Amino acid sequence: MASVFPLADLRRSNTPRAWLNSIIKGDCVAALEALPDKSVDMIFADPPYNLQLGGALHRPDQSLVDAVDDEWDQFASFEAYDAFTRAWLLACRRVLKPTGTIWVIGSYHNIFRVGATLQDLNFWILNDIVWRKTNPMPNFKGRRFQNAHETMIWASPDPKGKGYTFNYDALKAANDDVQMRSDWLFPICSGAERLKGEDGKKIHPTQKPEALLARCILSASKPGDVILDPFFGSGTTGAVAKRLGRNFVGIEREQDYIDAASARIAAVQPLGSNELTVMTGKKAEPRVAFTALIEAGLLKPGQVLISEKRRHTAIIRADGTLVSGDDSGSIHRVGARVQGLDACNGWTFWHYEERGKLKPIDALRGVIREQMAKLG
Amino acid sequence: MASVFPLADLRRSNTPRAWLNSIIKGDCVAALEALPDKSVDMIFADPPYNLQLGGALHRPDQSLVDAVDDEWDQFASFEAYDAFTRAWLLACRRVLKPTGTIWVIGSYHNIFRVGATLQDLNFWILNDIVWRKTNPMPNFKGRRFQNAHETMIWASPDPKGKGYTFNYDALKAANDDVQMRSDWLFPICSGAERLKGEDGKKIHPTQKPEALLARCILSASKPGDVILDPFFGSGTTGAVAKRLGRNFVGIEREQDYIDAASARIAAVQPLGSNELTVMTGKKAEPRVAFTALIEAGLLKPGQVLISEKRRHTAIIRADGTLVSGDDSGSIHRVGARVQGLDACNGWTFWHYEERGKLKPIDALRGVIREQMAKLG
DNA sequence: ATGCGAGCTGAATCTATGA
DNA sequence: ATCATAGATTCAGCTCGCA
């Protein structure tokens, strides 16, 4: 079982990070306040949606729709909901690292208030993501469009929004080599994945699909990161985090949910490190100075570099700069100047000739990087 | 030409509904205040989004992205934007019939503030609708998900939300006899539909596609209804309303936009009553991400994929990439690398084993595509 | 005519690092 | 904190020129 921490015990504990990979039992804001500053890499929050339901809803066959009418989803007014939202988001902001990010999921009942509050608290929205449901509940009265999606907001606590983890290259590689879009398609959580009690009834009314959490976690965290869920519920965040080699912290008030989540997480088998390696692109590779190519003898001072369509040439100087007519400087600067542009990636712009063929000097970086790799 | 009404002239006019099928030139709120109470059946509003752009943005080929940096999109703060939003929504509420509805479109920059303000003003949200773009602009720096959608809020001024027009059956009939969902797929406005000046440049930076307006108007109004657009711009709302046999009123400040919209609307030929059927959108694109197979549980991280003649193998990683020896990346890239080729279709190259037999992973796409096809 | 390839463009809150 | 510099980064669809 994942360990459970009554909040009072956690406050008394002297062990640093005793809360790691455990569920803190208590009020969301109070529990957050017991965690250290800047201790969490990613937050996934599935707060109460503040549904404002009228009477009971029946299907066309007169069966009753099992509505979310739990006590924890009741708020007296929008003002009360806003105050609640502000409080837990502020508490989240403190425990989140400046390079961390937060996800909040909601529907049209609450997501506008959550989004506005995030902005008011100076979070910086990176994307809004639409979860399109393959199998949403129909609209039984035929008075609206079928409500077939929910919305997630992905935001950085830093208004400049830099330095956060985003596994762009892995997402693109996994998506037929095109960028991952802001609209995602997943089934709702049902079947074997849906936690049920001995009576066969669902344990939690709004259990989220693991695939949704997996996409969020794989997008915006690294193995070993700490992922916090302040409304832990049935523990989907914890189960997926564990499976994907991340650490988790959950906060939950209701003992029934804690029991179910704890058992669920205990049964999760983490993936091995080979399966968890994150695909990275050029950005993550070690830098290679242009002079390293000269020092390694792959290029020589006096040698001519050529642009792809042979429109421009430049000569390599011994100090690792280029000269082309009146322009001189780095491979990037000269590449930009000869084209009349502000910027240029010299590694892909400049080519060298080998047996009559032009190859980008970028290819030579690979040789250097292989040498570096051998040295450890 | 559609008639244009300087606001001062409208105020002096004694003719009832002189403003019908015309463009009122003036400030949004002031013009709304010149219209009678409860005179409008539907409002479509495309307010400024309050984009907060940093410096210039260049594409990878160094060309400049033509940003929306117009004066009308500049606000000093969220407070200023909220005050603006509140003012025009309040003015809209007065002119809207109790049985009417309002649509507001926006992006994550402004839609949360709009939605919260609607709720604060006691509008009743009926749906939030996602416009999924078939051809959105990419994210050039690879630091976010491609922003591939915008959001519309559809709301009633009556908190009980009764009596409004919703052409449920027509929408369902036009949608393969299943309910119309809250996620719609349309291309952005480009090509011949995009209004351009003599210089070939776009007249308006944010012209919306007619198909989008047609879906809204056909969903929530009847022929002969009055449709108001308080941010008329290039007049898409007016053009589509006229074509669909509805009356329109537009409000716009800028003379250039008024001129273009006026000429555009004059050229519109209204449809006959027989032809006023619901337009259908595009079908969902068939692309299936490799991750979708993992997310659906059809393949698992750690599982081995095999080439047809069992010459090559690769292991599936959790992020949806493959690894084979030193090579890693998308199914296509790894397929190419292990064969020493430039390109490879990973869908047909890689196989999974089932009861001793190899089947191409492409077969699993069929399962996913069936799900997607159901969504229309 | 038809096909092909190069070029252009769309509501965009779009970098990381070291001095 | 600012500033300079290295160098990484795009998808779908339309238009136009040319074979």
Which pLDDT tens digit goes with each residue over B202-223?
999 999 999 999 999 999 999 9
Q: Do B323 and A277 touch (CB under 8 A)?
A: yes
Q: What is the mean pLDDT of residues B115-140?
A: 98
Highest mean pLDDT among A56-60, A86-90, B16-20: A86-90
CA distance B95 to A262: 55
Q: Which residue has the higher pLDDT, A158 or B84?
A: B84
Q: A143-193, pLDDT tens digit by residue? A: 999 999 999 999 999 888 789 999 999 999 999 999 999 999 999 999 999
Residues of A in contact with B321 (CB under 8 A): 170, 173-174, 279
Mean per-residue pLDDT for B223-241?
Answer: 98
Chain A positions touching B301 (Cβ under 8 A) are 271, 275-276
Give per-residue pLDDT as tens, A52-72: 888 899 998 989 999 999 989
Among chain A residues 140 through 199, which have CB within 7 angstroms of nucleic chain D?
A: 168-169, 172, 177-179
pLDDT at B185 over 90: yes
Q: How far is B25 from chain A (nearest CA, A)?
A: 32
Task: Label residue B272 by pLDDT band (50, 70, 90).
Answer: confident
Mark yes or no for CB contact A174/B318 under 8 Å: no
Q: How far apart are CA B130 and CA B147, in angstroms?
A: 12
Q: Please answer yes or no on whether B116 and A118 come within 8 Å at the CB atom.
A: no
| CA distance to partner chain B, nearest, from residue A196 (Å) | 20
For residues B331 and B294, the answer to whether their CB atoms sit within 8 Å is no
Least-confidence region, from A251-255, A335-339, B179-183: A335-339
Among B108, B109, B116, B140, which Cα is nearest to A183's? B108
Instruction: Report CA(A345)–C1'(D7) in Å, whole number.
Output: 5
pLDDT higher than 90, residue B80: yes
Tell me the pairing of strands A313-316 and A357-360: unpaired
For the CA of B291 and the C1' of C15, the distance in angstroms is 27
To the question of pTM greater than 0.85 for the whole model, the response is yes
When CB atoms are compared, the residue of A132, A146, A275 closest to B180 is A146
Q: How far is A279 from chain B (nearest CA, A)?
A: 7
Q: How far apart are CA A356 and CA A306, in angstroms?
A: 12
pLDDT band at A73 (very low <50, low <70, confident <90, very high): confident
**Is the model more confident about B184 or about A310?**
B184
For chain B, the residue count is 376
Burial of B15 by CB count in 10 Å (0-12 exposed, 13-18 middle, 19+ buried)? Answer: exposed
DSSP codes of every residue in A177-204:
TS--BSEEEEPPS-GGGS-B-TTS-BSS
C-alpha–C-alpha distance, residues A22 and A375, integer Å: 40
Across the interface, whether the CB atoms of A112 and B115 are under 8 A apart is answered yes
Q: What are residue B341's phi and psi, to 5 degrees?
A: -110, 170
Neighbouring C-beta atoms of residue A295, cutoff 10 Å: 12
Torsion of CA A70, A72, A78, A80, to 10 degrees: 150
pLDDT of residue B280: 59
Mean pLDDT of chain A: 94
In percent, the amount of chain B with pLDDT more than 90 equals 85
Task: Answer whether B314's CB lies under 8 Å from B334's CB.
Answer: yes
pLDDT the model gives residue A240: 98
Q: What is the mean pLDDT of residues A201-215?
A: 97
